[in-house]
């Protein structure tokens, strides 16, 4: 890759500067969602906190649009902007574990796979996302939901402190004792308040072997399975994390070929306790009805965390709609069964996370993550191959919107901020937080970024 450290005059910058015409420009501007095609003026690939500070000051001085890239996974593509500067942390992926203190320092460009790998070497883990190639930064700053959340809380509930470069280019530490207002806002308020260069997380003993994996049933059984599941998870121990997946059976090597792409409902499971207790906890679920295939078994936690990575690779085209659900009523189950398999692309699916447990026990105003009382959170993920026709793309998008519309009468009028797509109206941002948390976020924004330099995100305007 051709590089220049000086052509854009970022004083004190020691990382890579990548601009149009350089051989790596197209790779560097690509994000996970292949529909996003933005052309930044400069990509500042930072090597450390000082580079981030220099890039922020440069962007401000030059009056450039500023985008911040962690893992590059946000479906709305907010990690890249047109004709501005991308502050790219993808070269900052170090994870430093303190096994005795059960904490980890994680750089702002790390992926969850990096964290799982380093922490599981010590039999430890913290709540992260369910796909290993998702970025730690964006996911954590929006809240962070995953297999371990019911036992160990959201990612933000495990955040002890963060190193942040503010809109002024100053480096500060945010924790319960230092800049507590900023620390509160970072735990759910997204990338609005500065660039996080390092996260300090609490870790917990997990695995290394856990009882985990999916059970699949035929799509025709969806309503029956969901009704059983609703009652099954109502009494589930906190250790049990489950995610429903509705779509076709993914063509993974661990699944027999004759099932690939067959419409099916799966309950993905991960028991964050002993394998023996996990076996007992999952007994009834695994014996329900006639599963197509049961892949639950003792599994290394680190393998479970990356087991679905290939089902959502970089570069495919994606479009998301999402909502929290007030309850998994019979009516909601009927809507889900009616819509989930009506998409045309075999790569499209919907996923429903079971919340509650430790997530719901944290007081609602303790962090900026809104809606802790929600029990089920559904995301409708249209996915198709880039080479497919514009007509298929339009059909998949229409399917996702129609599915969401059908759920609306039973929805919570609330949503997880990290699941919002680029065409979701700004009113949905308020839905994500509720009025009180949104008002507080706007106040913190006014203090730390009054001119809204960090607005290429799910933007909270300075109040
Ligand atoms: C395949 C897939 C699976 C997912 N699974 C889960 C899941 O299990 N649980 C869950 O909670 N979410 C999940 N998500 C959603 C995920 O939380 C968001 O997409 C999130 O934005 C990804 O973070 P990122 O760093 O990769 O994003 P990026 O696209 O890099 O960044 C998104 C935004 O975050 C902000 N940001 C990024 N890095 C920084 C930083 N260092 N400092 C300050 N701001 C920053 C910026 O505003 C940026 O615009 C998933 C997403 C995908 C695509």
State CA 367 to chain mean position distance.
17
- The count of residues in the chain is 463
Helix (H) or strand (E) holding 68: strand 66-69
pTM of the model: 0.97
Residues with Cβ within 8 Å of residue 134, at least 6 apart in sequence: 71, 73, 111, 112, 128
Mean pLDDT of 18-46: 97
With a pLDDT cut of 90, the percent of the chain lying above it is: 96
Q: Which two tokens stand for residue 252?
A: 């993974």
Cα gap 57→77, rounded to integer Å: 23
Strand 263-271 to 95-98 pairing: unpaired
pLDDT over threshold 80, residue 4? no
Distance 112 CA to ligand 1 centre (A): 10
Burial of residue 461 (CB within 10 Å: 0-12, 13-18, 19+) is middle
Structure confidence by residue, pLDDT tens digits, 330-362: 999 999 999 999 999 999 999 999 999 999 999
pLDDT over threshold 80, residue 15? yes
Cα gap 83→28, rounded to integer Å: 14
For residue 130 and ligand 1, the question of a CB distance below 6 A is answered with yes
- Let me know: does 50 contact 9? Beta carbons within 8 Å: no
Distance 89 CA to ligand 1 centre (A): 13
Cα gap 243→146, rounded to integer Å: 9
- Let me know: does 319 contact 35? Beta carbons within 8 Å: yes
Q: Which two tokens stand for residue 292?
A: 């197509």
State CA 307 to chain mean position distance.
16
Structure confidence by residue, pLDDT tens digits, 222-276: 999 999 999 999 999 999 999 999 999 999 999 999 999 999 999 999 999 999 9
- Let me know: does 126 contact 155? Beta carbons within 8 Å: yes
Structure confidence by residue, pLDDT tens digits, 382-403: 999 998 889 999 999 999 999 9
State the closest ligand 1 atom to the C-alpha of 138, by its place in the atom list counted from 1.
23
State the closest ligand 1 atom to the C-alpha of 419, by its place in the atom list counted from 1.
15
State the closest ligand 1 atom to the C-alpha of 243, by its place in the atom list counted from 1.
8
Q: How confident is the model at residue 5 (pLDDT cuts 50, 70, 90)?
A: very low
User: Which residue's C-alpha comes closest to atom 7 of ligand 1?
Assistant: 129
pLDDT over threshold 90, residue 2? no
State whether the Cα torsion 200-205-208-211 is positive or negative: negative
DSSP secondary structure code for residue 410 in this structure: G
């Amino acid at each position: 890759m051709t590089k220049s450290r000086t052509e854009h005059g970022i004083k004190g910058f020691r990382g890579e500067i990548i601009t149009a015409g350089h051989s790596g420009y197209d790779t560097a501007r690509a994000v996970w969602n292949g529909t996003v095609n933005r052309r930044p003026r400069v990509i500042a690939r930072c090597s450390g906190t000082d580079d981030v500070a220099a890039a922020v000051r440069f962007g401000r001085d030059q009056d450039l649009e500023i985008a911040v890239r962690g893992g590059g996974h946000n479906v709305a593509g907010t990690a890249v902007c047109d004709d501005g500067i991308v502050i790219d942390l993808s070269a900052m992926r170090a994870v430093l574990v303190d096994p005795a203190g059960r904490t980890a320092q994680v750089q702002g460009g790390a992926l969850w796979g990096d964290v799982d790998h380093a922490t599981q070497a010590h039999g430890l883990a913290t709540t992260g996302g369910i796909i290993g190639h998702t970025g730690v930064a964006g996911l954590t700053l929006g809240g962070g939901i995953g297999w371990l959340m019911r036992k160990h809380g959201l990612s933000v509930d495990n955040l002890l402190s963060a190193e942040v470069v503010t809109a002024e280019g100053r480096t500060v530490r945010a924790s319960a004792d230092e800049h507590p207002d900023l620390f509160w806002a970072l735990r759910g308020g997204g990338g609005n308040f500065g660039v996080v260069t390092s996260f300090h997380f609490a870790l917990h003993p997990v695995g290394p072997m856990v009882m985990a994996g999916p059970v699949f049933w035929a799509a025709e059984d969806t309503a029956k399975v969901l009704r059983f599941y609703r009652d099954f998870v109502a009494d589930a121990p906190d250790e049990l994390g489950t995610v429903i997946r509705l779509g076709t059976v993914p063509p993974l090597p661990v699944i027999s070929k004759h099932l690939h792409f067959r419409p099916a409902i799966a309950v993905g499971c991960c028991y964050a306790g002993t394998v023996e207790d996990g076996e007992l906890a999952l007994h009834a679920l695994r014996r329900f009805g006639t599963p197509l295939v049961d892949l639950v078994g003792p599994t290394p936690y680190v393998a479970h965390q990356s087991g679905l990575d290939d089902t959502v690779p970089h570069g495919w085209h994606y479009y998301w709609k999402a909502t929290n659900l007030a309850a998994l009523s019979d009516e909601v189950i009927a809507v889900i069964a009616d819509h989930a398999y009506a998409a045309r692309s075999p790569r499209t699916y919907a996923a429903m996370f079971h919340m509650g447990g430790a997530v719901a026990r944290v007081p609602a105003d303790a962090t900026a993550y809104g809606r802790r009382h929600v029990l089920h959170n559904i995301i409708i993920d249209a996915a198709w191959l880039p080479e497919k026709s514009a007509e298929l793309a339009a059909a998949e998008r229409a399917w996702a919107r129609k599915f969401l519309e059908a759920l609306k009468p039973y929805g919570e009028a609330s949503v997880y901020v990290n699941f919002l797509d680029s065409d979701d109206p700004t009113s949905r941002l308020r839905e994500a937080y509720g009025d009180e948390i949104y008002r507080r976020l706007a106040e913190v924004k006014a203090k730390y970024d009054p001119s809204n330099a960090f607005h290429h995100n799910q933007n909270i305007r300075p109040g």
